[in-house]
Amino acid sequence: MKGVILAGGVGSRLAPLTRITNKHLLPLYDRPMVTYAVEALVDAGIGELMLVTGGMHAGEFFRLLGNGHEYGIDRLFYAYQENQGGVAEALGLAERYVGDDGCCVLLADNVFETPLRPLVERFAAQEKGALIVLSRIEEDEHLRHLGVAEFDGDDRIVRIAEKPAEPPSRLGVTGLYFFDAQVWEVLPTLAPSGRGELEITDVINWYAGRGELEAEVVDGYWGDAGESIEAYYAVNDFVRARHG
């Protein structure tokens, strides 16, 4: 299985901090944010990674990570996203790297308390399709900023509702996804959303429509440090309490 870390975007929700650097290079406690994503995938047993980024600060990732060996990566590749075309467009840049393998896709601003290895192993045993990782969220206001899982009577996901005014469940979609090689067939068929981006939710819903979407509810803390300034400092507090 190949790992893909997505570290692009302008980080407008963390402005003005992101006027001077990519948000994934901002510190969480005592080191750059992106290194937590790298560590999570390496600890999960994924030794080959591609980091996708863009913007004027892309070269700083190479200065930080180099060939990846210092961080336990066997082989580290880079891809450059020229436009702000969304998560799905960024993933498309990894097609030649991933090839026919399955891929584990992690947004570099997501931090999980639980180890990711059991999730990697579950997807490796999955015959085909996709696996998404959900987190239980109690606050409606938080769910309204996320993709939220909608289930049928048999507890299977029928679709992901993007930023719903009325959340259909308490399970929000995190920034950790697993896809088989069918994903490369889906991406070229996507149309840009209202904000001009290719949405990863549309990819997930394609799998859901085919009955090939599995889900796992993650235990413990999950935080998206890029969601807002408040979320950034909440994730920082969690990391500091855990590693300090």
Kindly list the structural domains of the chain, giving each domain's residue range(s) and its CATH number in brackets, ordered by start. 2-243 (3.90.550.10)
Show the tokens assigned to 22: 């990519």
Instruction: State the 10-residue block means of pLDDT for the chain, 244 residues long.
Output: 92 84 94 98 98 93 97 98 89 97 97 98 97 96 94 90 95 98 96 85 96 96 94 96 85
What angle is formed at CA 68 by the lines to CA 123 and CA 28, rounded to 5 degrees? 80
Angstrom distance (rounded) from CA 149 to CA 74: 35
Say whether 179 sits in a helix, a strand or coil.
strand
Cβ neighbours of 146 (radius 10 Å): 24
| Phi, psi dihedrals of residue 166, rounded to the nearest 5° | -120, 95
| Residues 6+ positions from 66 with CB-CB distance below 8 Å | 76
Angstrom distance (rounded) from CA 207 to CA 166: 23
Angstrom distance (rounded) from CA 76 to CA 61: 11
* pTM of this prediction exceeds 0.85: yes
DSSP assignment of 37-76: HHHHHHHTT--EEEEEEESTTTHHHHHHHTTSGGGT-SEE
Closest CA to 113 of 198, 209, 239: 239
Which pLDDT does position 189 carry in this prediction? 94
Which pLDDT does position 212 carry in this prediction? 97
Which pLDDT does position 68 carry in this prediction? 97
Angstrom distance (rounded) from CA 106 to CA 123: 14
Which pLDDT does position 15 carry in this prediction? 87
